[in-house]
Structure 1
Amino acid sequence: MNIIETHDLCKQYGNALRVAHLELSVPEGSVYGFLGPNGAGKSTTLKMILGLVRPTAGSIRVLGRQMNRANRLTVLRQVGSLIESPSYYGHLTGEENLRIVQTLRGVPEKNIREVLQIVRLDGQRGKKVAHYSLGMKQRLGLAAALLGYPKLLILDEPTNGLDPAGIQEMRELICSLPGRFGMTVVVSSHLLSEIDQMADHVAIIREGELVFQDSLEALHGHSSHHLALRTSNNTVARSLLAEQSVTCREEEGYLILPILPDETAARLTRFLAENRLGVVRLEERQKSLEDIFLELTGRAVSL
């Protein structure tokens, strides 16, 4: 079952089509990474899914129900979200802030203590939120989103502004939610390495258009391992390798070869040396997630 499905989803502001014909499918129980550069339309899409922004065209199904005015509140009772930045009352404690949300959502009071433990804020529950660090405020926002133990959790750039330790904590917490509570988590980010370490399914959006959607494994399948060889004379080396039935291409000062068994690689480097060619460097490479992203979008972007 797909927890979220969109069909031909569009959002237009003036003459600008910010989200263009999106067809998203979010599998149940996944950590679904929604990836793209700043301004790509990620937040707008998530707001439409939550009913905070009305689509210009298209349809949205959440938890098997059509998202519309008639049943929006019914659907949202099973959804938690943290969009852009957490909201809080600075003069109240973390626990008091959560009690307000608990009352509005009509969930048991015991959930407050439980979610504070989940996000590791139970030791700070009596501290005023105005005195919280940025990372603590992010975790408080996540605690509020978790209060009703939703089936679907939507997080928009949850690691924004966190230090490396805070990013690691947030990443570990997000990855644990499907297994611990059976939640489906949609997490948006412009940090490609973050999505690579958190998600098992990925969608990539560029200028409002979906350019990739599949498992993370399938995304990495766009990349193939290869060997990069640099010699004292690549032109001569390329001819000599051709004699050994090894095809290669030249790219930025390197000869790009397919992955070879260690014995074959050793034999070829020895063969080049016997022909008075210096092997300057031989390394194994694989395209990073960033490289794959740029390939899929067909242009360089500022990330």
Structure 2
Amino acid sequence: MADIIKTQGLCKHYGKTPGVSDLDLSVAEGAVYGFLGPNGAGKSTTLKMILGLVKPTAGSITVFGKTMNHRSRMSILKDVGSLIESPSYYGHLSGYENLRIIATLKGTPEKDIGRVLQIVRLENQKNKKTNQYSLGMKQRLGLACALLGNPRLLILDEPTNGLDPAGIQEIRELIRSLPKEYGITVLVSSHLLSEIEQMATNLGIISKGRLVFQSSLGALHQKSSRSIAIRTLDNHRAAAVLREQGVAVQSQQDYLLLPAFEDGELSRLTLNLCEQKVGVVRIEQREKSLEDIFLELTGSAVSL
């Protein structure tokens, strides 16, 4: 598929402090692209540059095949919806009235309000004042505002922040449905790997302003290397026996780590240990979790 967003060598420096460095982002049309990184990694700055809210120090941004600059910005943004940080509303007005104000500002027909209310499942709450909305309802109203005008691209910055588990589930299901049901490409940022894993098809990981991984979610899973962990009554003796058979062995706490053998080979090795009077008390298959891989790529222990 064609890239709906493409950045090349994108940089943003604040004085001598780099916020984003040499970022080459590729967001394919029809994807839910998860933009993942620790807080302060440069996610919001990148999204603001893509929207033309922050001027890059260097590099280029292409959206819908057009270069983003002050001349093209308005024509590009006609087909873009966004929700950056927390949405703001007139609390004394209803959800419908707030949407009508946004529709007027966007030049969108009022009849579109019913469509977006149905998408975010707020049609039964449209006449309720927004100061009586729950956090989840307010976030869905923010999405409704972003969806006015039927955009081709939706950019969301931490859309589940501050929500309870039920609210997170609502937003997650909604985002997952947008490409297939409405033809909308989604770029969504988060510092929570568990959130991105459950809704994204593609993934970019940013750390200290630099992109350290970009591919499909499946490609990230493939980085997860499997191993076999064996615990015996005499690990020192067991390691010697296994090395005599050419097996690479590493010690880890009370276990020996071996490569991920097929069942038949593992059975043979275990039988040989028993024949050498080494009692095997536990065998486990281990696999790096996505969290482990994320921490390796970003080099810091952050909220996952």
1:239 Cα deviation from its structure 2 partner: 1.8
C-alpha change, 1:230 and 1:300, in structure 2 (3 Å) is farther
Matches of 2:113 and 2:236, distance apart in 1? 68
Partner SS for 2:39: coil
Name the counterpart of 2:199.
198
Name the counterpart of 2:293.
292
| Identity score, percent | 64
Matches of 2:279 and 2:255, distance apart in 1? 13
1:22 Cα deviation from its structure 2 partner: 0.8
Cα deviation digits, residues 220-269 of structure 1 (max 9, x gap) = 22112222222232222222223444333223432222222334334433
Deviates more, 1:227-236 or 1:160-169: 227-236
Q: Please give the root-mean-square deviation of Cα atoms over the aligned residues, in Å.
A: 1.7
Matches of 1:279 and 1:104, distance apart in 2? 71
- Establish whether residue 119 from structure 1 lines up as the match of residue 128 from structure 2: no
Name the counterpart of 1:56.
57
Name the counterpart of 1:301.
301
1:159 Cα deviation from its structure 2 partner: 1.1
C-alpha change, 1:278 and 1:173, in structure 2 (3 Å) is farther
Partner SS for 1:32: strand
1:174 Cα deviation from its structure 2 partner: 0.8
Counterpart amino acid of residue 220 in structure 1: H
Name the counterpart of 2:173.
172
C-alpha change, 1:36 and 1:252, in structure 2 (3 Å) is farther
1:96 Cα deviation from its structure 2 partner: 0.9
Name the counterpart of 2:15.
14
Deviates more, 1:196-205 or 1:250-259: 250-259
1:7 Cα deviation from its structure 2 partner: 1.4
Counterpart amino acid of residue 257 in structure 1: L
Aligned ranges 1:86-125 → 2 under 5 Å = 86-125=87-126
Deviates more, 1:211-220 or 1:254-263: 254-263
Matches of 2:14 and 2:59, distance apart in 1? 15
Matches of 1:38 and 1:173, distance apart in 2? 24
Name the counterpart of 1:161.
162
Counterpart amino acid of residue 47 in structure 1: K
Counterpart amino acid of residue 162 in structure 2: G
Name the counterpart of 2:260.
259
- Establish whether residue 217 from structure 1 lines up as the match of residue 218 from structure 2: yes
Cα deviation digits, residues 92-135 of structure 1 (max 9, x gap) = 11111111111222223232122112112112111111111111
Partner SS for 1:160: coil
- Establish whether residue 235 from structure 1 lines up as the match of residue 239 from structure 2: no
Name the counterpart of 2:75.
74
Matches of 1:121 and 1:266, distance apart in 2? 58
Q: Which runs of 4+ in 1 moved over 6 A?
A: none
Partner SS for 2:295: helix
1:274 Cα deviation from its structure 2 partner: 4.3
Partner SS for 1:109: coil
Matches of 1:86 and 1:259, distance apart in 2? 49
Deviates more, 1:107-116 or 1:39-48: 107-116
Name the counterpart of 1:24.
25
Deviates more, 1:271-280 or 1:234-243: 271-280
C-alpha change, 1:292 and 1:71, in structure 2 (3 Å) is same
Matches of 2:230 and 2:96, distance apart in 1? 59
- Establish whether residue 130 from structure 1 lines up as the match of residue 121 from structure 2: no
C-alpha change, 1:280 and 1:99, in structure 2 (3 Å) is farther
Unaligned runs of 5+ in 1: none
C-alpha change, 1:167 and 1:277, in structure 2 (3 Å) is farther
Partner SS for 2:60: strand
Unaligned runs of 5+ in 2: none
Partner SS for 1:3: strand
